[in-house]
A and B are shown apart, each in its own frame.
Chain A
Amino acid sequence: RKEVEQDPGPFNVPEGATVAFNCTYSNSASQSFFWYRQDCRKEPKLLMSVYSSGNEDGRFTAQLNRASQYISLLIRDSKLSDSATYLCVVNRRNQGGKLIFGQGTELSVKP
């Protein structure tokens, strides 16, 4: 079992749809949580950090449940430009910032 697990996808949604990504992590020493976005054949880029109280950035909302070891990302009013692979990422306490990646969930937003 991988340390970070995500919905396998792909998700195919129409423009304007709301889409939710789920992620679970197995190591309770996980300390920091992120969502990265990776466009086809490009490098990953930080989309947002995930805080215990939940956080929002425009159309994007991230939630963390430490008790369930569960992370989510919600995209509202999806745009064509949101098409990408979304990576759930964690790192562990005192591990020097080393990132542990989920397999990623591909999103395709159609007109």
Chain B
Amino acid sequence: GAGVSQSPSNKVTEKGKDVELRCDPISGHTALYWYRQSLGQGLEFLIYFQGNSAPDKSGLPSDRFSAERTGGSVSTLTIQRTQQEDSAVYLCASSLRVLDYNEQFFGPGTRLTVL
């Protein structure tokens, strides 16, 4: 079956522009997670959704970052006024339910480069 998909796969933008990253989770998965992976920082949690609500936004680095999920499915991560330090691979993952031991399935990521 289809896995987690993300778009675009690559995004190059100029500093100060806004970007939107999209994640399409596995059908039926109620939990959705955003992480980012940058050189020297490893993989770090950004936000997760249970259905359409986001109980934990603690990992969002600044108020320039926001995310939403509609219809319990697709999620978008928006970065406003991008900065060079936002350059990273943004990974989305989904799991069947929000439980500690549930396997998370990752998408291929969006590689964001801010010039």
B14 at the interface (CB under 8 A from A): no
Which of B45, B107, B108, B109 contacts A99 (CB under 8 A)? B45
Interface size class of A (residues with CB under 8 A): 20 to 34
Which of B45, B56, B108 contacts A42 (CB under 8 A)? B108
The interface stretch among B60-68, B70-78, B79-87, B96-104 is: B96-104
In the complex the two chains form, is B50's CB within 8 Å of A96's CB? yes
- Residues of chain B within 8 A (CB-CB) of A103 are 42
Q: Name B's interface SS.
A: strand
A57 at the interface (CB under 8 A from B): no
In the complex the two chains form, is B43's CB within 8 Å of A101's CB? yes
Contact indicator per residue, chain B 91-115, by CB within 8 Å of chain A (1) or not (0): 1000100111111101111000000
Q: How far is the CA of A49 from the CA of B103 in the complex (A)?
A: 9
Contact indicator per residue, chain B 31-49, by CB within 8 Å of chain A (1) or not (0): 1010100000011110010
Interface residues of A (CB under 8 A from B): 31-32, 42-46, 49, 87, 91-93, 95-104
In order of increasing CB-CB distance, the 9 nearest A-B pairs are A43-B106, A101-B43, A32-B100, A103-B42, A32-B101, A96-B98, A31-B100, A98-B45, A46-B103
